[in-house]
Amino acid sequence: MVAGVDEAGRGPLAGPVMAAAVVLPAGFSRSELRDSKALSPKARERAFSLVTLNALAFAVGHSTPEEIDRINILRASLLAMRRAVEKLEPAPDFLYIDGNLTIPPPQGGPWGSIRQEAIISGDARCVSVMAASILAKVTRDRLMLEYDRVYPGYGFASHKGYPTKAHLAALAVLGPSPIHRKTFRGVSPG
Amino acid sequence: MTRSPEERTSAGREAEESVCAYLGERGMRVVERNFRARGGEIDLIARDGDVLAFVEVRFREEDGHGLPEESVGPAKRKRIAAAARAYLSTIPPDSWREARFDVAAVDGSGAAPAIRYYPAAFDAKGKIL
């Protein structure tokens, strides 16, 4: 079983970093996911259903803002990916990982037998990585919609935590919320 | 292979059965089967929270006439859409936020038929998306 793995939300000032792992059936073609990178949220929702309804297996995992502050965003996104992969049922034996890094395998467990390959711009080149990218992004966006209700005033529903002008202005007035990444430039005053 | 009409119906029912199980595994709840209205029939109506899916199940064995999912013609799509509008008028308007037309293609029979699932395959005007 070959899984594609990708992450979403490395850049935002707030919220978790989300990762997804997807195993697609043989013959699932790239053309079915075409336009998924297009910004239309509707097209993305459709691609999300296309993946979840056809995937042989899929899972998501995340790292919290606290973890991001503690171990840095890069390691936190690898941790999120590891959590996604560990939730895959059945366990995969090969991973395509978007980017230039592979997941540091934890001691013990089934990781010894999982082979990994990092592929740069994998979200455009490999259909299962593309699928993972969609799952991670849509799941994270949905979560940020929920957070918008819990921590209103920052505009999480529209910018999803990314550093837009409106977001920075809200931060200047309200200060950071509990889901802000305190180590990110622009979050804490000064 | 040629089948008698009775055999065709039972194969179709079996295909619907496997799509029901498939949707259930993926967190969707089937709320209606073989809903008929206004000259159209909807094989399955499923719900994923406030999203409603009208599902056309296509089943065909290898017969050299192309893929089962390619066999949902324009007239059929319009009949499904008409029946869907009738269905929507029977449920509380605030019980759904989004509706879409899906096609599920079932390939082969037996214990583990292959299912290819196309969410939002066409729109309410019958236009292929």
Domains of chain A listed by start with CATH number? 2-142 (3.30.420.10)
CB–CB contact A54 B114 (8 Å): no
Whether chain B has a CB inside 8 Å of the CB on A83: the answer is no
Sort out which chain A residues have CB atoms less than 8 A from B26's CB and list them. 52-53
pLDDT at B70: 80
At residue A5, the pLDDT reads 97
The pLDDT, as a whole number, for residue A95 is 97
Residues on chain B touching A49 (C-beta within 8 angstroms): 119-120
Average pLDDT over residues B21-31: 94
For residue B6, give how far its alpha carbon lies from the nearest alpha carbon of chain A (Å). 30
List A residues 10-29 in contact with B (Cβ-Cβ < 8 A): 25
Radius of gyration of chain B (CA): 14
Tell me how close the Cα of A142 comes to any Cα of chain B, in angstroms.
14
- Check: CB of residue A67 under 8 Å from CB of residue A180: no
SS3 of A62-125: the string is EECHHHHHHHCHHHHHHHHHHHHHHHCCCCCCEEEEECCCCCCCCCCHHHHHCEEEEECCHHHH
B107-110: Cβ within 8 A, 24+ apart? B107/B60, B107/B68, B108/B61, B109/B11, B109/B14, B109/B15, B109/B61
Over chain A (190 residues), what is each successive 10-residue block's mean pLDDT? 95 98 86 62 85 95 98 97 96 94 86 91 87 94 96 96 96 96 86
Q: Is the pTM of this model over 0.80?
A: yes
Quote the CA–CA distance of A43 and A53 in Å, as a whole number: 15
Query: What pLDDT, on a 0 to 100 scale, did the predictor assign at position B68?
Result: 79
Q: Are B14 and B109 in contact (CB under 8 A)?
A: yes
The confidence score (pLDDT) of residue A29 equals: 75
Q: What is the ipTM of this complex?
A: 0.74
In this structure, what token pair is assigned to residue A20?
Answer: 């997804």
Enter the tokens of residue A110: 């089934």
B107 at A interface, C-beta within 8 A: no
In tens, the pLDDT along B37-93 reads: 988 999 999 998 889 999 999 987 666 677 777 888 899 999 999 999 999 999 999
Selected residue of B29, B118, B128 to mutate for chain A interface (largest A Cβ count, 10 A): B118
| Residue B64, pLDDT score | 65
For residue A54, the chain B residues in CB contact (below 8 A) are 116-117
Residue A46 touches partner B, C-beta closer than 8 Å: yes
